[in-house]
Amino acid sequence: MPKLDQKPRVMLEEFRVKNAPDDYGMADEKWNFKKFAKNMRIVIVRLDNFEMEFDLIGVQPAFANAFRRLMLSEVPSMAIEKVMIKNNTSIIQDEVLAHRLGLIPLKADPRLFEYRPEDATVGTEFDTLEFSLKVKCSNNKSQPKDSFRPEDLYENHSVYSSQIKWCPLGNQASVHKEADVGPVHGDILISKMRPGHELDLHLVAVKGIGKDHAKFSPVATASYRLLPDITLTREVTGGEATLLQSCFSPGVIGIDSEGRAFVQEARYDTCSRNVYRYDEIKDSVILSRIRDHFIFNVESVGAMPPNIIFIQAVKILRDKCKSLLDELNTL
Amino acid sequence: MGELNKNTEWESTKGLREPIKELEDKWKLVPSFLQVKGLVKQHIDSFNYFINVEIKKIVQANEKVFCDADPLFYIKYLNAYVGTPDLEEGFNVTKPTTPHECRLRDMTYSAPITVDIEYIRGNQRVIKNKQLIGRMPLMLRSSNCVLTNKSDFELAQLNECPHDPGGYFIIRGQEKVILIQEQLSRNRMIVDEFKGAIQCQVTSSTHEKKTRTNVIVKNGKYVLRHNALTDDIPIAIAFKAMGICSDQEIMQLIGTDDTTMKKMGPCIMECHNLKIFTQNQALAYFASKLKVKRFQTANSKSRSPIDEARDLLATTILAHVAVENYNFYVKAIYLAIMVRRVIDAESNRTAIDDPDYYGNKRLELAGSLLALMFEDLFKRFNWELKSIADKIIPKVKAAPFDVVKHMRPDLIANGLFAAISSGNWTIKRFKMERHGVTQVLSRLSYISALGMMTRVNSQFEKTRKVSGPRSLQPSQWGMLCPSDTPEGEGCGLVKNLALMTHITTECSEEPIARLACNAGVEDVRLLGGEEINHPAVYMVFLNGNILGVSRQYKRLIRVFRMFRRRGLISAFVSIYPNHNQRTVYICSDGGRLCRPYIVVENGHPLVQQSHIHELKRGIRKFQDFLNDGLIEYLDVNEENDSHIATRESDIDPYVTTHLEIEPFTVLGVCAGLVPYPHHNQSPRNTYQCAMGKQAMGTIGYNQKNRIDTLMYNLVYPQCPMVKTRTIELTNFDKLPAGQNATVAVMSYSGYDIEDALILNRASIDRGYGRCLVYKSAKTTMKRYSNQTSDRILGPSRDANTGKVIRAHDILDTDGIAAPGEMVENRQVLINKQMPPATLNPVAQGQPQSVDYKDVPITYKGPVESYIEKVMVSSNSEDAFLIKILLRQTRIPEIGDKFSSRHGQKGVTGLIVQQEDMPFNDRGICPDMIMNPHGFPSRMTVGKTIELLAGKAGLMEGKFHYGTAFGGSKVKDVCNELEKHGYNYHGKDIFYSGLTGEPLEAYIYSGPVYYQKLKHMVQDKMHARARGPRAVLTRQPTEGRSRDGGLRLGEMERDCLIGYGASMLLMERLMLASDAFSADICGECGRLASRAWCHACRSSAAVSTVEMPYACKLLFQELASMNIVPKLTLKRYC
């Protein structure tokens, strides 16, 4: 049995996840800044406007988890909070309509806005975005004959998020560009209507955090997984090798020219542990995960790019630490 | 050697033993069946038969009305019709209506009953067509309903949901179902044991009479017992009264073997001892045992007792066996068979019939119940016409008596409406008094409405504690759902039909009798006892009546079945032999349970794969299968004469006669929702059947047009990830009631003990479990007899400020709350006022407007609602009808009840922020966490499989099937999971959301369909500090609706006594309840009033004592009964 390297790891056994016997979790470890600075690394694997994958290496799970939690619940974003319903004759109920509108992601950089004071009754240009949605469904005058498709028969029979119009407050029109404000996606179906139905709504978006309501969360999800590690304990060849290969995600196990299996890239493994189903090969691998190697995946909802969201989370953590320290110092 | 033999045997039958290929997509026959028969077709068929056929028969049976006053006068009904639904708009103007209009306007969905009559007016014979005699409530989707044969689009224009099953009535705006009633079959001999004695019982039922005849053993002798007789009649006398006078003849009819002779000996002897030898002597004996009639009519006086006895014997005893010209021979044979059965059962206990056996049961449907009620009302109608004629004809009048002017349609209409709306079926003629025949259609969910339509109610008393009628009968197989029954008192008595069950409607006997005669049945009237009882001969019964005897019963049965498969006789006629009784029974009566099977001949099912292909392409319909004799209906009795294979592989070429269409059809509608029910412990499926009816979701496509008193809707209902065939057949996937929640089976926090669930806050924020609760408020603006009427006023204004008062804030200027407004507790919805006097006529010119009484319709409830819509219309009394629909949107909170489809209910124990929820490698947070302790004792393996199949379905982008006795295999599902990189067993690595470290156990997680049940904390939460008290006792009121106190009950009291907390007891039971300072006279010990003792005429010894008011009340009440309670007072310190 080959000796495993010194990385901290959890063992994925057949029926449970097991820490090494002497490992009581890294929470007990004495924290040393120098050591931390030396080990800590961030590797960005993939980044676009909506999604980011990066590795956070050499930190304790509490750190990684804190960032994950902050991204989910404390990084602010803008969302529709109030809906003034002037007219709603569609079949969708006022409350349900308001709820649906609230969940539409808005592209508005929350860093440019302030939280609206709790006692404020009207918003200002610094803390509020206002929109209007005014749609009326009617019969299509130039409807083609013999067609029964609603899109031919009626006009505006579906209300989409693209129909939401921004109403700049005060100086907003000059501060923000038209393209930077509004729903992220234009094709979100809000309601379906029939002739005679009408929506006349005034929407008020404010800045908020995910703790308050999930609609304020800037991420669709932010989570991490630990880096998988696969070690072969013996030589696996021939049929067993292909069987072994099939037990893991594609690209994890390779087979060399002599038919021997080798670990190609453990990172891609989904840790399905299906190798334990086969008695003949279950002894040939040790499955484990590196405890201080977090593969983060951040999916932004669209208001901010994911890397900014992460940085925001870091800033929030810093501010929290600072305020704690300040409090402690005043004692 | 043995081995070799086996081999050769196998060789010789090789051709036959070849495995029969399974028919692919055989289940497609089920939707095809439901297309023609539908889930509520039984109700509709039965009602159609009633309004199209039976009503005419009833009118014909009572076609003539005569009058005592004028012998020439008569009314003759020529024909009767039930029209199309309409509403009476007054002044004989009618307007066609739709069911939905009736629902909204609180009207009755009914059609006129018209007759063609011929009668005498003056001296003329007049024929009048289309005379209205009453109104018939119409069953929705019956032949006369406007909804039949309408396309979905047309239904939508009538505001009707295309998936609504119909089969119910609308009476004064209420949807009413006539439940299927189960009862013992009529006109059949049933041998049972009653208090240790064997008896043979026949309940005869004809249009005129319902009587019960027994043959019982009494002191070793056989006697005839009947309600119309004061005493039991020895059997031999009964025979002699029927004209079978010789003892030999009697014995030949009953049987001439030794044991029978021995047993009959004493009976014959008794007859001799009584010196009865002739028919007249026997009839005289009969006459002496007749019950004395209380009312002697002119008719009955003139007859001799012997005539009366003969009449009784002909018409009342064994009433269903017809007697022509007082020729009792057939009836005597029938009686002989009854005696024979008793004798057989005495020596062979297996000959005793099982009254719980489903072959002996008949189901009564809306049609037959309404027919009973209609006949009764029609007879009363005619009787009333007669008495009017009797009264008026003798009077000399200018205009000749025209009976048409006295025909009041109200009698029949109101009688039918009242019966259906109250559910009380009282028919004096038959001494029938039944309650709870109808129920309000439950519209909680689509399934609850559908489930109600298949419900079967037993006549058995619910309070009796016997297990027999409640337990699952093997003969219920395939006919009644084994799972769907309530818990508690109705358990096993209230049942539900299975998916493919059909209930027969009556078909006429004459052609069948004729066919039987052609097939070799000989008339018994031509045969003597010896021939009838010959061992080679089988007796043939048709609907419980003797038809004849057959020497080749096998041929008879074969011929009949062939006729049926060829479609020469009705598909619902059944024929089956009983070898012990040496009889063949042919049934064509209504109310039998039956279901279709594939015919198997020579070990091969007649339905071939090619037929299924044709079915799939739409060339073949279910009826074609019936017409071609590939499929036939078997009723319970005939089922027992068949060998039915469940699957193709079970077919035994030598014995198998039929093949099951699909095994999952043994379950009903509600049990059909459960995925993998065959993996669950059976009570769990039963629990789900009860809970599926409480799940909220969509109730129909027209739900937004309805104004129900209470309606629950889900905001975002979903079709289950794991479907069943039944779900598709019942359209549950189109009108779902639940959502697919991603469930992690793990423990979390400790707020999940005892089945509590943990919910994800973010899921709730995104709309999980959100529901809409609609309630309605209603009022009518009545017009009173004194020309006054109710009125509605606009909002009142405060006298000082001129502002609208708060209670009237939401009122429009018309005094009715405006749609879209938010209503809070105690705000007025309709500002109605009532005139002070409604009876006495108000003097003209007097100002009427003075003191109108305020009777506002107010909103009550701690949580505000929104007004969805307001309807102003008029009802059948021409009064204004105002209905207001109120809406609440409710978000799941702690204490709301959820349930999966496996009888696993639980309340929300905790709602957790998303970041605190565990998450897996892919970043998935569960919507719901369920404690694994829910599994071991409940054994709901089906739920774990549902989770797996659902998860695999998500990855594949398809629905898996969890159909009973079939469905996707666990192995395939798991392989699918593995293919997508998931663990084979469905267990994933999860990280704790709190610490960020991986959890030590692998977590079983995936989507499970969860239903939100109607029980929500918001409707139940209750607390009280101070509040209202009952007037009489001054104790706090009881119940949440009256803001009542929380009772410290007897057991709680016991605890406090045991603990010795006497001061606490004192506080709870007196001070916090009805403490009262009573003045007591220490001298005489009686209650004093205002510190003055009336008895002692002094206030010297009066002191104040704290006591419960109830105690003081007791003393006063006792004193009022001349019992004087006296108190002895002592100083305690």
Domain ranges (residues) in chain A: 9-74+221-297, 78-216
What does the buried/exposed string (b/e) look like for B163-202 if buried means 16 or more CB atoms within 10 Å of the residue's CB? bbbbbbbbbbbbbbbbbbbbbebbbbbbbeeeeeebbbbb
Cβ contact (<8 Å) for A17 and B925? no
CATH architecture of the domain formed by B671-770+893-1012 = Beta Barrel (2.40)
Does CATH number 2.170.120.12 belong to domain A78-216? yes
pLDDT at B528: 81
- Element of type H or E holding A310: helix A306-330
Looking at the DSSP bridge assignments, the partners of residue A254 are A262
Is the pLDDT reported for residue A78 higher than 90? yes
Long-range Cβ contact pairs of B249-253 (< 8 A, separation 24 or more): B249/B528, B249/B529, B250/B336, B251/B529, B252/B528, B252/B529, B252/B530, B252/B533, B253/B332, B253/B333, B253/B336, B253/B529, B253/B532, B253/B533
Residue B984 has pLDDT above 90, yes or no: yes
CATH topology of domain B772-834+850-890: OB fold (Dihydrolipoamide Acetyltransferase, E2P) (2.40.50)
Tens of pLDDT, residues B610-629: 888 888 888 888 888 888 88
Residues with Cβ < 8 Å from B12, sequence gap 6 or more? none
Look over chain B and give the mean of its residue pLDDT values, rounded to a whole number.
88
Residues of B in contact with A229 (CB under 8 A): none
Taking the Cβ of residue A98 and every Cβ of chain B, the question of whether any pair is shorter than 8 Å is answered with: no
Residue spans of the domains in chain B: they are 33-180+363-449, 189-319, 671-770+893-1012, 772-834+850-890, 1040-1120
The b/e string for B47-60 (b: 16+ C-beta within 10 A; e otherwise) is: bbbbbeebbbebbe
The pLDDT confidence band at residue B851, using thresholds 50, 70 and 90, is confident
pLDDT digits (tens, 9 = 90+) for B245-303: 888 888 888 888 888 888 888 888 888 888 888 888 888 888 888 877 655 555 555 67
Judged against a pLDDT cut of 80, whether residue A325 lies above it is answered with: yes
Does the predicted interface ipTM exceed a cut of 0.85? yes
Q: What residues form DSSP beta bridges with B201?
A: B190, B214
- DSSP string of B325-342, one letter each residue: TTB-HHHHHHHHHHHHHH
Residues forming beta bridges with residue B203, ordered by sequence position:
B212
Question: Hey, is the C-beta of B770 within 8 angstroms of any chain A C-beta?
Answer: yes
Average pLDDT over residues B94-108: 91
Smallest Cβ–Cβ distance between A270 and the set B767, B924, B981 belongs to B981
Q: For B1067-1123, how does the pLDDT look when each residue is reduced to its tens digit (9 = 90+)?
A: 999 999 999 999 998 888 888 888 888 888 888 888 889 999 999 999 999 999 999
**% of chain B surpassing 90 pLDDT:** 44
pLDDT at A1 over 70: no
Is A17 part of the contact surface with chain B (CB cutoff 8 Å)? Answer: yes
CB contact, 8 Å: B715 with chain A?
yes
Q: Rounded CA gap, B48 and B43, in Å? A: 9
Over residues B1019-1045, the mean pLDDT reads 91
pLDDT, greater one: A142 or B867: B867
Tell me the per-residue pLDDT of B473-527, one tens digit each, with 9 for 90 and over.
Answer: 899 898 999 999 999 888 888 999 999 899 988 888 889 988 888 888 888 888 8
Mutate to test the interface with A, among B864, B915, B919 (most CBs of A within 10 A): B915
Give A-chain residues touching B996 at CB under 8 angstroms. 61-62, 64-66, 68
CATH 3.30.450.40 fits domain B1040-1120: no
pLDDT at position B6 is: 47
Q: What is the mean pLDDT of residues B538-557?
A: 89
3-class DSSP assignment, residue B1086: coil
Q: How confident is the model at residue B676 (pLDDT cuts 50, 70, 90)?
A: very high
Contacts of B761 in chain A (CB under 8 A): 214
Least CB-CB distance to A17: which of B761, B984, B998?
Answer: B998
The whole-number pLDDT of residue B7 equals: 47
The confidence score (pLDDT) of residue B295 equals 57
Contact B1066, B1100 (CB under 8 A): no
Architecture in CATH of B33-180+363-449 = Alpha-Beta Complex (3.90)
pLDDT for position B844:
57
Give pLDDT tens digits for B190-223.
888 878 788 898 988 887 778 888 898 888 888 8
Facing A73 at nearest CB: one of B913, B923, B999 = B913
The mean pLDDT value for B896-920 works out to: 94
Please list the alpha-helical segments (H only) found in B431-574: 446-453, 510-518, 529-532, 553-566
- Domain A9-74+221-297 in CATH 3.30.70.920: no
Question: B287-320: b or e for each residue (b if 16 or more CB lie within 10 Å)?
Answer: bebeeeeeeeeeeeeeeeebebbbebbbebbbbb
State the average pLDDT over residues A313-322.
Answer: 95
- B614-670 pLDDT per residue, tens: 888 888 888 888 888 889 999 999 998 899 998 888 888 889 999 998 899 999 999
* Cα gap B732→B446, rounded to integer Å: 8
Residue found by looking up tokens 């259906």 in the block: B420
Strand order in B174-178's β-sheet?
A: B169-171, B174-178, B438-440
Would you say residue B1 has pLDDT above 50?
A: no
Give the other-Cβ count within 10 Å of B84's Cβ: 13
* pLDDT at residue B16 tops 60: no
pLDDT band at B845 (very low <50, low <70, confident <90, very high): low
CATH number assigned to the domain covering B189-319? 3.90.1110.10
Chain B hits for A253, CB-CB cut-off 8 Å, are none
Residue B2: predicted pLDDT:
42
Reduced to 3 states (helix: H, G, I; strand: E, B; else coil), residue B772 is: strand
What is the rounded average pLDDT of the residues A136-147? 82
Per-residue pLDDT, averaged over A141-149, amounts to 78
Q: Among B704, B766, B997, whose Cβ lies nearest the Cβ of A214?
A: B766
Query: How many interchain CB pairs under 8 A, A with B?
Result: 105
The per-residue pLDDT for B3 is 46
Which residues of B have a catalytic role annotated?
Answer: 755
CA pair distance A146, B187, nearest whole angstrom:
61
Tokens of B129: 């067509």
Over residues A302-315, mean pLDDT: 93
pLDDT in tens, A46-69: 999 899 999 999 888 888 999 999
Q: Which neighbouring-strand residues pair with B861?
A: none
Could you tell me the pLDDT band of residue B72, with boundaries at 50, 70 and 90? confident
Separation of alpha carbons A112 and B1001, rounded Å: 44
Task: Locate B574 and state its tokens.
Answer: 């059944």
pLDDT of residue B297: 54
Predicted pLDDT of residue B1058: 95
Adjacent-strand bridge partners of B804: B797
Which residue type, as a one-letter code, is found at position A73? S
Is B423 within 8 Å of B437 (Cβ atoms)? yes
Pick the residue with more confidence: B679 or B93?
B679
Q: Which of A79-88, B773-782, B1077-1086 has the lowest mean pLDDT?
A: B1077-1086
The top-scoring range by mean pLDDT among B190-199, B492-501, B593-602, B739-748 is B739-748
A271 and chain B in contact, CB less than 8 A: yes
Interface test with A, best of B867, B912, B917, B921 (most A CBs within 10 A): B921
Could you tell me if B868 lies within 8 Å of chain A, comparing CB atoms?
yes
Contact across the interface for A17 and B767, Cβ inside 8 Å = no
- Give pLDDT, residue B193: 84
